[in-house]
């Protein structure tokens, strides 16, 4: 009796939360797949017709936005690695007793709403705002110079908003490196550059991988930065999905585009994992 | 060696520059909560004032949106805190068939694009003709928070020694007593951290909420809606107060942890 109860315990613990995830996460994904294959409109209702056209039409109509999202997501992720790695490296190896203070400072942006932070950038960068206003009145930049409504503004916003998610996992990986390994490299007459390239860098890769996983997906699928900082000519696939779902209420097209985005992100992640030779993707990610 | 020292100093300055970049928009937000504007637009600096702190709740629907956000965040913290902790306990403590599948679902929920999650949940609500509002927002927030709580608690459970629970059982404690007097106090720091994470995720969420809110406003949604016409200074003040509360909690937490470590 008690053995049976012991065997059942984990399932009883799992039950309520799993039920919630099943009904509101797993089932909706299936419902959306079904919705993407339906035809009809919001007035007359929808019927399941295996209508592949939503995919064909959606992808061909919004090809530009799909490509732009992938490019922006990729570029902003690379920028985050380049900007973030030296920071993670310095805190991990030279942060001393103040490591947690530096990490706390890096996490400060998360205490302000994501939308509010992005709008604050819009405010700071606006055409006659805090940055460009003084520069223009001093004649340092031309009067028609602008930062907003450019792809640089959107990519910069994406890099800004997700940077802490990139730095933290890289820091965790670098911090774990045993100092004795570095001493061993030096004892074996490795130069500083060799130690960095052949010891530190490979050992930091799991952190970089986790960081990419945490930043590439939200950056690629984001629409807040594109709306607030990008004007009308830098719309991403997220803007289209949002618009089709909430404004046009064209559910089949919107669902088909969501599914396309999900598929692209999944393929991207697994191709990346394979290229990097990281076998235990899930294990690294789950940490 | 001198070159190394210089390089270290350079990296230190660089780190501070990156921190300054991260904090800059927050400083702008805080500063313009003290701006003595008179018209509708809070764009140019007009002088220092505390008046917006006094008029904090003058915009009725903004206040309502903030109240909604806080209420949803507290409820999310409680519900996802309990459900997620139970999952974390099961995954961290027991070996059982299906744990791999459970880990996979949680990994999917954590790494899934927010817009895909929000859109698919809306698909479900639309298909079943569920009216959107406060409750659908709450459902969605609990949904995306559970996995984060579970992962946090699982990490805590895995570091613990299960022999203490065996000892309690050997001394005649029943399963419930063992849980209440031994297991729960041991995992509580993880439960607390996970629940606070759920609160933070909930109060900040925009994308999934935007899909499942109907006409109900939360703080981020209200800000989003007001962007085109310009944000009133009250938004800056509310943002500042939330920020200050977050900093206070984090500092208090760190001081408590240090005191406990020294004791």
Q: What is the DSSP string of B86-105?
A: HHHHHHHH---TTHHHHHHH
Q: Which residues, in sequence order, are bridge partners of residue A38?
A: A48
Q: Which of B106, B114, B116, B151 to mutate to test the interface with A (most CBs of A within 10 A)?
A: B116
Decide if pLDDT at B123 tops 80: yes
Q: How far is CA B198 from the centre of its chain?
A: 5
Put simply, the answer to whether B87 touches A17 (Cβ < 8 Å) is yes
Residues of A whose CB is below 8 A from B162 = none
Tokens at B17, concatenated: 């520059």
Decide if pLDDT at B3 tops 50: no
Tokens at B167, concatenated: 């000892």
| pLDDT the model gives residue A9 | 87
Put simply, the answer to whether B18 touches A228 (Cβ < 8 Å) is no
State pLDDT tens for residues B246-259.
999 989 988 888 88
What's the burial of B190, exposed, middle or buried (CB within 10 Å: 0-12/13-18/19+)? buried
By CA distance, what is A113's nearest residue in B?
B204
- Number of A/B CB contacts below 8 angstroms equals 233
| pLDDT the model gives residue B147 | 95
Decide if pLDDT at A1 tops 70: no
State pLDDT tens for residues A165-224.
999 999 999 999 988 888 898 889 888 888 888 889 988 988 998 899 889 999 999 999
What's the rounded Cα separation, in Å, for the pair A261 and A241?
A: 10
| pLDDT the model gives residue A95 | 87
What's the rounded Cα separation, in Å, for the pair A18 and A27?
A: 12
What's the rounded Cα separation, in Å, for the pair A147 and A156?
A: 10
Pairing of strands A38-41, A45-48: antiparallel
Decide if pLDDT at B223 tops 70: yes
| pLDDT the model gives residue B1 | 40
Chain A: closest CA distance from residue B245 (Å): 9
Higher pLDDT, B135 or A1: B135
Tokens at A99, concatenated: 């490591």
Q: Is the Cβ of A221 closer than 8 Å to some Cβ of chain B?
A: yes
Decide if pLDDT at B96 tops 50: yes
What's the rounded Cα separation, in Å, for the pair A94 and B2?
A: 16
State pLDDT tens for residues B48-89.
998 999 888 989 999 999 999 999 999 999 999 999 999 999
| pLDDT the model gives residue B2 | 42
Q: How many Cα atoms are found within 13 Å in the side-chain-facing hemisphere of B113? A: 29
Decide if pLDDT at A64 tops 60: yes
> CA A255, B145, A168 angle in degrees (round to 5)?
100
State pLDDT tens for residues B145-168.
999 999 999 999 988 888 888 888
CA distances from B226 to A47, A114, B83, B235 (A): 37, 15, 35, 10
Asked if A131 and A211 count as a contact pair (C-beta separation under 8 A), the reply is: no
Superfamily of A63-286 according to CATH: MetI-like (1.10.3720.10)
What's the rounded Cα separation, in Å, for the pair A162 and A80?
A: 8
**Which residue matches tokens 């339906």?**
A38
pLDDT interval class at B7 (50, 70, 90): low
What's the burial of B256, exposed, middle or buried (CB within 10 Å: 0-12/13-18/19+)? exposed
Chain B: closest CA distance from residue A234 (Å): 17
| pLDDT the model gives residue A286 | 44
Instruction: Indicate the fold that domain B60-231 takes in CATH.
Output: MetI-like fold (1.10.3720)
Average predicted confidence (pLDDT) for chain A: 88
Handedness of CA A205, A206, A209, A214 (dihedral sign): negative
| pLDDT the model gives residue A287 | 43
Q: Which of B2, B123, B154, B235 to mutate to test the interface with A (most CBs of A within 10 A)?
A: B123
Q: What is the rounded average pLDDT of the residues B100-123?
A: 91
Residues of A whose CB is below 8 A from B200 = 110
Asked if B171 and B58 count as a contact pair (C-beta separation under 8 A), the reply is: no
What's the rounded Cα separation, in Å, for the pair B98 and B100?
A: 5
CA distances from A183 to A178, A192, A203, A265 (A): 9, 11, 15, 40
Taking a contact as any Cβ pair under 8 Å apart, which residues of chain A between 86 and 125 contact chain B?
Answer: 86-87, 89-91, 94, 100, 102, 104-106, 108-117, 119-124
Handedness of CA B242, B247, B250, B256 (dihedral sign): negative
The gap between the terminal CA atoms of chain B, to the nearest Å, is 40
Tokens at A212, concatenated: 């990419």
Task: Reduce the DSSP state of residue A48 to 3 states and report it.
Answer: strand
Higher pLDDT, B239 or A45: B239
DSSP A130-188: TTHHHHHHTTSS-TT--STTSHHHHHHHHHHHHHHHHHHHHHHHHHTS-HHHHHHHHHT
Domain ranges of chain B: 60-231
Q: In chain B, what percentage of residues exceed pLDDT 90?
A: 61
| pLDDT the model gives residue A279 | 46
CA distances from B23 to A106, A158, B237 (A): 8, 15, 16
Largest CA distance in chain A: 84
Q: In chain A, what percentage of residues exceed pLDDT 90?
A: 54
Decide if pLDDT at A136 tops 80: yes
Model pTM score: 0.90
Residues in chain B: 263
By CA distance, what is B129's nearest residue in A?
A45
Taking a contact as any Cβ pair under 8 Å apart, which residues of chain A between 250 and 279 contact chain B?
Answer: 251, 254-255, 258-259, 261-262, 265, 269
Residues of B whose CB is below 8 A from A221 = 113-116
Residues of B whose CB is below 8 A from A100 = 254
Q: In chain B, what percentage of residues exceed pLDDT 70?
A: 97
Tell me what percent of chain A is helix, strand and coil, each rounded to the nearest 5: 80, 5, 20
What's the rounded Cα separation, in Å, for the pair A83 and A164?
A: 11
Handedness of CA B101, B105, B106, B108 (dihedral sign): positive
What's the rounded Cα separation, in Å, for the pair A20 and A14?
A: 10
Decide if pLDDT at B135 tops 50: yes
Asked if B125 and B159 count as a contact pair (C-beta separation under 8 A), the reply is: no
Give helix B2-31 / helix A99-107 axis angle, nearest 10°.
40
Q: Which long-range contacts (CB under 8 A, 24 or more apart) does B104-109 make?
A: B104/A282, B105/A18, B105/A21, B105/A25, B105/A26, B105/B147, B106/A21, B106/A286, B106/B147, B106/B150, B106/B151, B107/A282, B107/A285, B107/A286, B107/B147, B108/A25, B109/A21, B109/A25, B109/B143, B109/B144, B109/B146, B109/B147
Q: In chain A, what percentage of residues exceed pLDDT 70?
A: 94
Rg, chain A, Cα only: 24
Asked if B77 and B226 count as a contact pair (C-beta separation under 8 A), the reply is: no
Higher pLDDT, A276 or A185: A185
């Amino acid at each position: 009796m008690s053995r049976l109860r012991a065997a059942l315990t984990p399932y009883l613990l799992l039950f309520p939360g799993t039920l919630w995830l099943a009904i509101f996460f797993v089932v909706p994904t299936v419902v959306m797949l079904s919705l993407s294959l339906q035809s009809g409109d919001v007035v007359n209702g929808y019927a399941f017709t295996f209508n592949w056209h939503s995919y064909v039409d959606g992808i061909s109509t919004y090809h530009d936005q799909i490509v732009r999202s992938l490019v922006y997501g990729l570029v902003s992720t690379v920028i985050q690695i380049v900007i973030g790695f030296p920071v993670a490296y310095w805190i991990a190896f030279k942060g001393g007793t103040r490591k947690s203070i530096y990490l706390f400072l890096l996490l400060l942006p998360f205490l302000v709403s994501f939308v509010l932070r992005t709008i604050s950038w819009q405010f700071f960068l606006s055409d006659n705002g805090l940055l460009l206003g003084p520069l223009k009145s001093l004649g340092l930049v031309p009067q028609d110079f602008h930062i907003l409504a450019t792809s640089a503004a959107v990519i910069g916003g994406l890099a800004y908003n997700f940077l802490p998610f990139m730095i933290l996992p890289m820091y965790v990986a670098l911090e774990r490196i045993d100092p004795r390994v570095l001493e061993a490299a030096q004892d074996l007459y490795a130069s500083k550059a060799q130690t960095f390239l052949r010891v530190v860098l490979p050992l930091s890769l799991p952190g970089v991988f986790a960081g990419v996983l945490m930043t590439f997906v939200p950056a690629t699928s984001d629409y807040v930065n594109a709306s607030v900082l990008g004007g009308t000519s830098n719309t991403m696939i997220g803007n289209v999905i949002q618009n089709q779902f909430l404004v046009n209420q064209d559910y089949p097209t919107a669902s088909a585009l969501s599914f396309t985005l999900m598929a692209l992100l999944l393929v991207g992640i697994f191709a990346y994992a394979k290229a990097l030779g990281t076998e235990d993707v899930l294990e690294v990610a789950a940490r | 060696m001198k070159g190394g020292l210089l390089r270290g100093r350079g990296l230190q300055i660089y780190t501070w520059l990156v921190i300054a970049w991260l904090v800059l928009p927050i400083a702008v937000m805080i500063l313009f909560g003290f701006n003595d504007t008179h018209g509708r637009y809070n764009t140019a600096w007009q002088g220092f004032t505390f008046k917006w702190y006094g008029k904090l709740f003058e915009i009725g629907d903004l206040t309502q949106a903030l109240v909604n956000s806080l209420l949803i965040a507290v409820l999310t913290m409680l519900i996802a805190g309990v459900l997620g902790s139970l999952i974390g306990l099961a995954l961290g403590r027991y070996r059982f068939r299906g744990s791999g599948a459970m880990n996979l679902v949680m990994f999917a929920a954590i790494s899934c694009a927010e817009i895909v999650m929000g859109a698919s949940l809306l698909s479900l609500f639309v298909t079943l003709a569920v009216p959107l509002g406060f409750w659908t927002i709450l459902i969605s927030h609990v949904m995306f928070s559970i996995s984060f709580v579970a992962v946090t608690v699982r990490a805590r459970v895995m570091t613990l020694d299960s022999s203490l629970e065996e000892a309690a059982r050997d001394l005649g404690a029943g399963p419930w007593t063992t849980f209440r007097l031994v297991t729960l106090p041991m995992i509580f720091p993880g439960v607390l951290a996970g629940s606070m994470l759920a609160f933070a995720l909930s109060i900040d969420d925009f994308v999934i909420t935007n899909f499942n809110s109907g006409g109900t406003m939360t703080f981020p949604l209200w800000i989003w809606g007001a962007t085109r016409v310009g944000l009133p200074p009250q938004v800056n003040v509310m943002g500042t107060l939330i920020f200050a509360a977050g900093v206070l909690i984090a500092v208090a937490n760190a001081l408590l942890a240090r005191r406990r470590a020294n004791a």
